């Protein structure tokens, strides 16, 4: 049970390890692109190409949906970024239970955006965990953990890719141990609980009056999607997808040189990767070839 790119490596790994995938559940196809044609999720597309049955219910709350799921007589349900709440009847249907791959070190960052919030908060490390699923939000016990440091220049994009592969390996290693009863499920700690709220579009605008370190973490947390954005001196919008903290001081939002060093409330940020609205993602030096921005220009 999964939907986005993050879930595909686990599905691939389970199949390659010899598990019989009796069915794949994924979010319904959604309009995408300029033509707004319906586009299946990455998990749906991969499973379909492999000849695996795919189901895309909008909800699992109905008796019919729950009976259809139970009729699979699955040993286990593996859940990775599925996007639907699993009612108690679904959780209890598989023989062994439902197991979630979560992208944080629980109980820190329960919820929808654990990778983004870990980077935004300046966490030194994160990881993936295989957890038992229960009715509460990411409250189940932990079967296995794999940790990884968060690099100073880490973006959600780079962390996403590493955790997806790390999680796939962890799930394949852990599932047989669960099946054979050789792995203990450890309850989560009752202290240190934090919630990773879904990214709100309103919080992605860059506020240059904040300290440069805070802004750098937010830029990396929102890169590549949805992207931290600002208003260029010419009035156009642009996303800043990578930056670096540097020394410098001046009026917040003002360029301190002609190479995109921008003053913040404290310190300064060097813009490294940028995307002007309607254009592609480019390094800052390439961007400046077509959009020269001199010293003392103002960003909004």
d(CA 213, CA 211): 6
Instruction: Say if residue 104 carries a ligand binding annotation.
Output: yes
Instruction: Say if residue 105 carries a ligand binding annotation.
Output: yes
Instruction: Say if residue 106 carries a ligand binding annotation.
Output: yes
Instruction: Say if residue 176 carries a ligand binding annotation.
Output: no
Closest CA to 128 of 220, 25, 138: 138
What separation, in Å, do the N-terminal and C-terminal C-alpha atoms of the chain show?
42
Whether the Cβ atoms of residue 226 and residue 199 lie closer than 8 Å to each other: yes
Kindly give the pairing relationship between strand 195-196 and strand 110-111: parallel
Q: Cα 20–23–24 angle (5° rounding)?
A: 115
Report cis status (omega within 30 of 0) of the bond before 107: yes
Binding residue numbers:
104-107
Binding residue numbers for (6S)-5,6,7,8-tetrahydrofolate:
104-107
């Amino acid at each position: 049970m999964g939907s986005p790119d993050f879930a595909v490596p686990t599905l691939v790994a389970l199949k390659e390890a010899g598990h019989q995938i009796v069915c794949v559940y994924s979010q319904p196809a959604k309009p995408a692109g300029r033509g707004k044609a319906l586009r299946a999720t990455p998990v749906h597309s991969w499973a379909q190409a492999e000849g695996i049955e795919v189901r895309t219910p909008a909800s699992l709350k109905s008796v019919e949906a729950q009976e259809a799921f139970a009729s699979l007589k699955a040993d286990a349900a593996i859940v990775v970024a599925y996007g639907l709440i699993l009612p108690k009847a679904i959780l209890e249907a598989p023989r062994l239970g439902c197991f979630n791959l979560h992208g944080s070190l629980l109980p820190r960052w329960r919820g929808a955006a654990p990778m983004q919030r870990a980077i935004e908060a300046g966490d030194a490390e994160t990881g993936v965990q295989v957890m038992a699923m229960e009715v509460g939000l990411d409250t189940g016990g932990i079967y296995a953990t794999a940790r990884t440091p968060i690099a100073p220049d880490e973006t959600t994009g780079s962390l996403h890719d590493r955790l997806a592969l790390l999680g796939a390996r962890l799930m394949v290693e852990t599932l047989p141990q669960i099946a054979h009863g050789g792995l203990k499920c450890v309850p989560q700690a009752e202290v240190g609980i934090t919630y990773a709220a879904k990214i709100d579009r309103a919080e992605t605008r860059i506020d240059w009056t904040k300290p440069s370190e805070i802004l750098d973490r937010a830029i990396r947390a929102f890169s590549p999607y949805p992207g931290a954005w600002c208003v260029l001196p010419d009035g156009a919008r642009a996303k800043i997808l990578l930056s670096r903290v540097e020394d410098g001081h001046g009026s917040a939002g003002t360029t301190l040189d002609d190479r995109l060093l921008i003053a913040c409330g404290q310190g300064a940020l060097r813009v490294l990767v940028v995307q002007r609205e309607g254009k592609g993602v480019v390094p800052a030096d390439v961007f400046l070839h077509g959009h020269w921005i001199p010293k003392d220009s103002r960003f909004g």
